[in-house]
Amino acid sequence: MSQAPSAASPSPSNRRLSVAIVGGGMFFDDIIGQSFKDFMRGGIAPGL
Amino acid sequence: MSHFAPSVANVGIDVVAIGTANPKSGTADKIARFFAEDFPSQHVKPYYGETVWKEILAKHKPDVLFVATPDHLHAQPILDALDAGCDVITEKPLCLTTAEADAIVARGRSAQRIVSVDMHKRYDPFVREMMGKAREKYGQINRVRAVLEEPLEVSTEIFAWAQNSNPFAYVGCHWLDVVHHYLGVKPRAVFATGQKNLLLNWDKHVVEIAKRKGRPVDTFKKRHAIETWDSLDVAVTYDDGMRGDYNNNWINPAEFEGAVNQEIEVYGIYGRGFVDQQDRGFRETVTGDGTRTRNPTFGGRIRHAGGNTEVFGYGKASIVSGMLAIMRRRFLGESAAALEATYPAAISQRDVVRIIEAAGIVAQRNYDAFAAGKGTPVSARLDEKAIEIIEPR
């Protein structure tokens, strides 16, 4: 997915999910961290 | 693209908190800074503590808790999150005992919440292609052979908790999940043996390995004996008579050509298939790093021109499947029960956990019996309700 005009500001929506993460080991570095950055930027639709 | 994409395209996601165990490591702060690099206005608050999720659940009341704690510490944060009304995504394995799995399944169903497990090998396109068509192409399946070998660094450097788990629980669960999910088989008998040569004597072997690497021994994180298995080899007989052979270790030398060694082979009466997961034809040689095989289909990175980095691959697809189920439940009005077949739900992991539990018991008793000169006579019989350990007198 290309970068949106404002990468730090997802499109307005009243439908939001707040997520907390516990644990920060190998999986976080490999996949989890960057995946959630992607979700914060553009939701999950680009990954479907 | 899934037909659900338009329905969830405008659901925003905010990571609000990160918790890790040890404040001395500073890991939660590092992760908070990792998010702040891209999202400086969205504060991800770091927390520390042995039961850090409790404080996070109380203070932030998140919609979703993502559990990436050590293997033996998955169950309690999942249960506490369900009690707090959260949906959950957890790293694999779901947990290590049948009692924990049953408690999670019961609590999740009672709370009508999603409990998704990061069983990403289901989403590997190579595995999905082979396993999804295995019965159609190969006929009745006589045997599955699956290997997953993790680097030595995992058990001796990365995980402080290796002694609380084993290589079969840690990575064997992946192939169990793939076999159960795609072939729909139920385990009926388990036989297991294992080895404890390297890690149990790590205080001695670390000296030799340091010497071979030309590295001072005091640069190794662990230099004491590690009370766990080097490797476990587990044979499962399923309800249709099929045999599953699962070979796992976490002592693969760092010099091995791939990040891990992983392969699955299916033998049917009309044909056979084989996926070598670590060697997909991408091989490179780099000065100082040797010749390596790469598998970017797990978690490859794209740096968009003039923009952000994005991860792609089946590692992410698994998390997306759990997030989609959560969105369908929360925003599209679907029930948790109706969604269970759409993602790696906790109930799908019950047999995986039962085999992990049975194999651990059987392997240890066979290890003790062998040391006593009695061979390896122990196995387990499984029905839907119980694990019966069979140990001839």
Compute CA distances B108 → A19, B66, B69, whole Å.
18, 15, 19
Name the band, by pLDDT with cuts 50, 70 and 90, for residue A8. very low
Q: Does A5 touch chain B (CB under 8 A)?
A: no
Residue B11 and residue A38: Cβ atoms within 8 Å? Answer: no
Compute CA distances B361 → B107, B133, B146, whole Å.
26, 34, 21
3-state secondary structure B251-274: EECCCCCCCCEEEEEEEECCCEEE
Over residues B359-363, the mean pLDDT reads 97
Q: Which of B2, B19, B35 sits opposite A22 (nearest CB)?
A: B19
Q: What is the pLDDT of residue A9?
A: 41
Q: What is the pLDDT of residues B92-116, one digit of tens each?
A: 999 999 999 999 999 999 999 999 9
Residue A3 and residue B12: Cβ atoms within 8 Å? Answer: no
What is the value of pTM for the model shown? Answer: 0.93
> For residue B393, is pLDDT > 90?
no
Q: What is the pLDDT of residues B288-335, one digit of tens each?
A: 999 999 999 999 999 999 889 999 999 999 999 999 999 999 999 999
Q: Tell me, what DSSP letter sits at residue B234?
A: E
Name the band, by pLDDT with cuts 50, 70 and 90, for residue B49. very high
Residue B304 and residue A1: Cβ atoms within 8 Å? Answer: yes
Token couple for B351: 């047999």
Q: Does B91 touch chain A (CB under 8 A)?
A: yes
The amino acid at B254:
A
How many helices (H) and strands (E) are present in chain B, helices listed first? 15, 17
Q: Does B46 touch chain A (CB under 8 A)?
A: no
Token couple for B161: 């908790």
Residues facing residue B300 across a β-bridge:
B312
User: Nearest residue on chain B to A2, judged by CA atoms?
Assistant: B304
Residue A10 and residue B324: Cβ atoms within 8 Å? Answer: no
Residue A22 and residue B68: Cβ atoms within 8 Å? Answer: yes
Q: What is the pLDDT of residues B221-239, one digit of tens each?
A: 889 999 999 999 999 999 9
Q: What is the pLDDT of residue B242?
A: 98
> For residue B265, is pLDDT > 90?
yes
Tell me which residue has tokens 């957890």. B90
User: Which residues of chain B form beta strands (DSSP E)?
Assistant: 12-20, 45-48, 64-67, 87-90, 115-117, 141-151, 187-195, 231-238, 243-252, 261-268, 272-276, 283-286, 290-293, 300-303, 309-312, 379-382, 387-390
Q: Does B309 touch chain A (CB under 8 A)?
A: yes
Name the band, by pLDDT with cuts 50, 70 and 90, for residue A13. low
Q: Which of A3, A15, A41 sits opposite B331 (nearest CB)?
A: A15
C-alpha span between A47 and B14 (Å, rounded): 17
C-alpha span between B34 and A8 (Å, rounded): 13
Residues of chain B contacting residue A24, judged by C-beta atoms under 8 Å apart: 18, 20, 27-28, 30-31, 68
CA-closest candidate to residue B387, choices B147, B189, B208: B189
Token couple for B319: 């998390």
Q: What is the pLDDT of residue A2?
A: 44
Q: What is the pLDDT of residue A3?
A: 43
Q: What is the pLDDT of residue B210?
A: 94
Residues of chain B contacting residue A6, judged by C-beta atoms under 8 Å apart: none
Name the band, by pLDDT with cuts 50, 70 and 90, for residue A47. confident
Q: Which of A22, A23, A44 sits opposite B8 (nearest CB)?
A: A44
Residues of chain A contacting residue B6, judged by C-beta atoms under 8 Å apart: 45
The mean of the pLDDT values for chain B is 95
CA-closest candidate to residue B185, choices B245, B135, B240: B240
Name the band, by pLDDT with cuts 50, 70 and 90, for residue A10. very low
Token couple for B64: 């979703």
Q: What is the pLDDT of residues B171-222, one digit of tens each?
A: 899 999 999 999 999 999 999 999 999 999 999 999 999 999 999 999 998 8
Residue B67 and residue A22: Cβ atoms within 8 Å? Answer: yes
CA-closest candidate to residue B92, choices B48, B122, B57: B122
Phi/psi for B196 (5° steps) reads: -135, 70
Compute CA distances B312 → A4, A38, A47, B104, B230, whole Å.
17, 10, 8, 30, 32
Residue A40 and residue B11: Cβ atoms within 8 Å? Answer: no
